[in-house]
Amino acid sequence: MNINTMKSSTANSNLCLSRLYDESIYPCSWEGWSESFVAHDVHLFLNGFAAPDDVTFGSQESTDSESLGVAIIELFRRRGNDFITHLRGSFALALWDGTQRRLLLATDHFGTRPIYYGLRSQKIAFAPRISTLAKATGMHKVIDPNSLYFYLNHSFIPAPFTIYRDFRRLEPGHILVWSDGRSDLYRYWDMTYKEDSTLSEATAADLLRESLENSVHFASRVRPAERMAAGAFLSGGTDSSTLVGLLAKAAGGPTKSFSVGFDEEAYSELHYARIAAEHFNSIAHEYIVRPEEALDVVPQLIEAYDEPFGNSSAIPTYFCLRSAQGAGVKVMFAGDGGDELFGGNERYITEKVFTMYDRVPKPLKNLLDITAPTLPDCFPWRKVKNYVYKANQTAIDRFFAYQLYYRDHATEFLTDDFRAEVNPEFPLDVARQHYIRAGEVSSLNRLLYVDLKLAVSDNDLFKVNRMAETQGIEVRYPYLDPHVGMVSGRIPAALKIKGWSKRYIFKKAVADLLPKKILTKKKHGFGLPTGEWLRTHVGFRDLARVLLLEPRSTQRGYFKRSALELLLKVHDEEQSSYFGSHIWNLMMLELWHRTHVDMDPCDTCNT
């Protein structure tokens, strides 16, 4: 190939950047990318992995990193902005066309990698990490009260919003085109649900299995030099176990699997991970996470999460990836997205229970609506009263009812000044907009769509990717592939959840692959005994009180100190972990402030 090509590295990065000088692009924008490529004065910056969807897996040279980078640039030269619709993988990218002086920013179909950007006075800054933008001279770093308020209720911040008012995060399946100080934003792909009622169960199962096998084959063949340094998360659940099995099949031999557990048996499912590991003859690695070492890594978590992030399962994820790094793994495969594509979460069943109310004859329903509020507030009448109340809510409001604690207790917890700055419905309005965007499809598919956006892209993927970065590992997500997504969209909702069986068609598709005990187990995942540790472990208890009650914290003006004191007291007195999750969210928010805003984390976590 007789063209001017170059894969950029630390040694030649200055050469690349010298070609990219443009006074309307902040210099920080070219920092923090894992790879960069140059051909024909087109500069490609990439995080994750990507390849043209028609790539053929022949020799190693045809699918190594540099060849794929050049192939993407050639695809852009042939198809222009439309090139993004012909890419496949898990990526965030920036492409600078030096000839046309045009910039393109894009995320993959499911938004598995983040890219942030800010526009100011006909200039643009962008980066894979928001902390890079926050340090840029001339870019305003003002906290968005609504984003912070959303975080309090959900433990993460949703795209396109960020913690800072003037920065945005590109949503899944989007491309931003910037030229001459003007930006245009396009959605090039979205999850759609065109149910094919002619599909038999057998055909649907075959299509599903084939799409997964194809996706695993694609993800495991890109950059084949990394194949020997690959591994997989293994929780013992359906998604991760299926992935380990498909990887072993694709490789023609066992794969490395990594599992974590806890001394607290209620939070550990290593038993099921061992069943799957033995069934697939994987090279199994296990790690037991204890509170002392979990406390020790909190500073590393806070440094990695440069936006407020309160999903405590980041801790077991960190240790799982650290174990993988110690075993020489460079690429990890994760099962994220399976539940949200094929109906695997318990709350989808809960929602189905409420939709049954719509089938009640109208005269009886009217009578229940009138009488239910007057029923005694004691068992079993309280259950009847609550059921009728929730059944009369919209599906999306009901779906998120248990995740709006600080909206429902705003007067109790939030200061008057902070409450005056926020839109009380913002934590639910974001979900409502996704629900509307899903279109006139089945209620289940609309909820799956919302979860793909919020629970997966904004929450789970952010968690895994940031922890992987601390270990120098790249994570790939075979379920979150457009081919798998299109198959999911074709499968009728009635086959995703049949009767009261979650993931019905998925389990049918992998019935010959998984051991029976995995197929019939209840969902667990990488949970964490955070609430218990905050109640019983001295280090966690002390840290919570320092972070929530120190004057440095309360003077930020978000919370009423008396409410925080009561929250800690109630958590101590109860056995559930419900309030523990709220305490953890507040701790992570304060640590984020100290590390990424004050730039003075001091030794808080070591006190």
Number of neighbouring beta carbons within 10 Å of residue 536: 12
d(CA 568, CA 583): 7
Kindly report the CA angle at 202 between 88 and 234, in degrees rounded to 5? 55
DSSP H helices in 537-577: 538-549, 551-554, 561-573
Q: What pLDDT is recorded for position 59?
A: 44
Lowest mean pLDDT segment, chosen from 14-28, 306-320, 381-395, 583-597 = 14-28
pLDDT tier for residue 44 given thresholds of 50, 70 and 90: very high
Q: Is the pLDDT confidence value at 604 over 80? A: no
Domain boundaries, the chain: 5-187, 201-343+460-520, 346-445, 530-606
Q: What pLDDT is recorded for position 368?
A: 94
d(CA 544, CA 273): 32
Reported as a single tens digit per residue, the pLDDT across 327-356 is 999 999 999 999 999 999 999 999 999 999
Mean pLDDT for the stretch of residues 153-161: 98
pLDDT tier for residue 264 given thresholds of 50, 70 and 90: confident
Mean pLDDT for the stretch of residues 114-134: 94
Q: What pLDDT is recorded for position 5?
A: 47
Q: Is the pLDDT confidence value at 8 over 60? A: no
Question: 5-187, which class in CATH?
Answer: alpha beta
Can you read off the two tokens belonging to residue 396?
A: 């999306």
* Cα–Cα distance list, 325 to 393, 462, 547 (Å): 47, 19, 31
- What is the distance, to the nearest Å, from the Cα of residue 94 to the centroid of all Cα atoms in its chain? 21
Q: What is the share, in percent, of the chain residues with pLDDT greater than 70?
A: 92
Mean pLDDT for the stretch of residues 424-444: 96
Lowest mean pLDDT segment, chosen from 222-226, 295-299, 361-365 = 222-226
Reported as a single tens digit per residue, the pLDDT across 305-331 is 999 999 999 999 999 999 999 999 999
Amino acid at 2: N
Q: What pLDDT is recorded for position 225?
A: 54
Q: What pLDDT is recorded for position 595?
A: 96
pLDDT tier for residue 2 given thresholds of 50, 70 and 90: very low
Reported as a single tens digit per residue, the pLDDT across 461-484 is 999 999 999 999 999 999 999 999
Can you read off the two tokens belonging to residue 196?
A: 């094919």
Query: Which strands, in side-by-side order, build the sheet including 42-52?
Result: 5-8, 35-39, 42-52, 87-97, 102-107, 174-179, 182-187
Number of neighbouring beta carbons within 10 Å of residue 527: 17
Residue 389 CB burial class (10 angstroms; 0-12, 13-18, ≥19): middle
pLDDT tier for residue 228 given thresholds of 50, 70 and 90: low
pTM here is: 0.94
Q: Is the pLDDT confidence value at 208 over 70? A: yes
- Cα dihedral 137→142→148→149 (10° resolution): -160
Q: Is the pLDDT confidence value at 394 over 80? A: yes
Q: What pLDDT is recorded for position 599?
A: 84
Bridge partner list, 127: 116
Q: What pLDDT is recorded for position 56?
A: 63
Mean pLDDT for the stretch of residues 177-198: 96
More reliable by pLDDT, 421 or 3 = 421
* Cα–Cα distance list, 154 to 94, 396, 422, 431 (Å): 30, 15, 15, 11
Q: Is the pLDDT confidence value at 12 over 50? A: no
Query: Which strands, in side-by-side order, build the sheet including 283-289?
Result: 283-289, 256-262, 230-233, 331-333, 474-476
pLDDT tier for residue 570 given thresholds of 50, 70 and 90: very high
Please, are residues 153 and 423 in contact by the beta-carbon 8 Å criterion?
no
pLDDT tier for residue 55 given thresholds of 50, 70 and 90: confident
d(CA 300, CA 263): 23
pLDDT tier for residue 54 given thresholds of 50, 70 and 90: confident
Q: Supply the mean pLDDT for the chain.
A: 91
Fold of the domain spanning 201-343+460-520 = Rossmann fold (3.40.50)
d(CA 48, CA 406): 35
Q: What is the share, in percent, of the chain residues with pLDDT greater than 90?
A: 83
d(CA 178, CA 607): 47
pLDDT tier for residue 525 given thresholds of 50, 70 and 90: very low
Can you read off the two tokens belonging to residue 529?
A: 């005994």
pLDDT tier for residue 603 given thresholds of 50, 70 and 90: low
